[in-house]
A = this chain, B = another copy of it.
Amino acid sequence: MKLPEKTVERLSEYRRTLLNCLANGKTHIYSHELAGLHNITAVQVRRDLMLIGYSSMKKKGYDAQELISVIGKLLDCEDGLNVGVVGMGNLGRAVTAYFNGKRPKLNIVAAFDVDPNKTNRVIAGVNCYHFKDLADVVKKSNIEIAIIASPPSTASMVAEQLVNAGIKGILNFTTIPITVPDNVYLEEYDMITFMEKVAYFVKQNSMK
């Protein structure tokens, strides 16, 4: 099954909202409720669920627990997926601390840096290795996904090493776009771009 990118993003978001609902004792949710919480239309929610083949078969809203499990089967790997972070500066540490514990099937299991003050220590709850040991640790710890949080000037070199080490997916936090082979999935996640986007539309709104 090939899901549209945007649907994949929303499924991730729906799931977290559903988990929240359950935590608040709400076991069922209507499409228009889920839509309202995400600032989208109820049709879009229903279409996304249609695409993943999920149907409530009742008119009493979707069963949160059931839908969470259906989304989980799609998004999660049964045995989990291991993540490594390259660069343990402010951003790398914050991302690691922030991320870990949020998703049970997705864990940051190793960090990498070149600063001797950071290597061979536990930082933000994760073992930090020297970057030169990347390939070994990736193999040993079965890491398939990497976050790049190193200085921008190192981004493309880091990306190359990650690809060589067998990484299959990259989330690039640096402001320099990188290039990877077709078989590696890349997501550019650039804060500056989004800040400037907000600024542009604020400016636009102020002019009309």
A residues with CB within 8 A of B: 2-3, 5, 8-9, 12-13, 16-17, 20, 36-39, 74-77, 81, 83, 90-91, 93-95, 97-99, 102-103, 105-106, 144-145, 147, 168-171, 175-177, 179, 183, 185-187, 189-206
| Inter-chain contact A194/B171, CB cutoff 8 Å | yes
| Inter-chain contact A103/B145, CB cutoff 8 Å | no
Q: How far is the CB of A40 from chain B (nearest CB, A)?
A: 9
State the number of copies, please: 2
Choose from B5, B74, B179 the contact partner of A39 (Cβ within 8 Å): B179
Contacts of A36 in B (CB 8 A): 179
| Inter-chain contact A193/B75, CB cutoff 8 Å | no
| Inter-chain contact A200/B94, CB cutoff 8 Å | no
Contacts of A13 in B (CB 8 A): 177, 190, 193
Choose from B3, B74, B169 the contact partner of A198 (Cβ within 8 Å): B169
Q: Once the chains are docked, how many angstroms separate the CA of A12 from the CA of B170? A: 21
Q: Once the chains are docked, how many angstroms separate the CA of A3 from the CA of B106? A: 37
29 contacts between A and B (CB under 8 A): A3-B200, A8-B196, A13-B177, A16-B175, A39-B186, A74-B200, A75-B196, A75-B199, A75-B200, A76-B199, A77-B199, A77-B203, A83-B195, A90-B98, A94-B95, A95-B191, A98-B191, A99-B192, A102-B192, A103-B195, A106-B199, A145-B198, A169-B198, A169-B199, A169-B201, A171-B194, A171-B198, A185-B201, A187-B198
The residue in chain B whose Cβ has the minimal distance to the Cβ of A175 is B16
Q: Once the chains are docked, how many angstroms separate the CA of A93 from the CA of B90? A: 8
Q: Once the chains are docked, how many angstroms separate the CA of A20 from the CA of B176? A: 10
Quick one: given A144-B202, A197-B8, are A191 and B99 in contact (CB under 8 Å)? Answer: yes
Quick one: given A75-B196, A90-B98, are A168 and B9 in contact (CB under 8 Å)? Answer: no
The residue in chain B whose Cβ has the minimal distance to the Cβ of A177 is B38
Q: Once the chains are docked, how many angstroms separate the CA of A90 from the CA of B94? A: 5
11 new A-B contacts, CB < 8 A, other than A144-B202, A169-B199, are: A5-B197, A9-B193, A9-B194, A13-B190, A16-B175, A75-B203, A81-B199, A94-B95, A106-B195, A145-B199, A171-B195
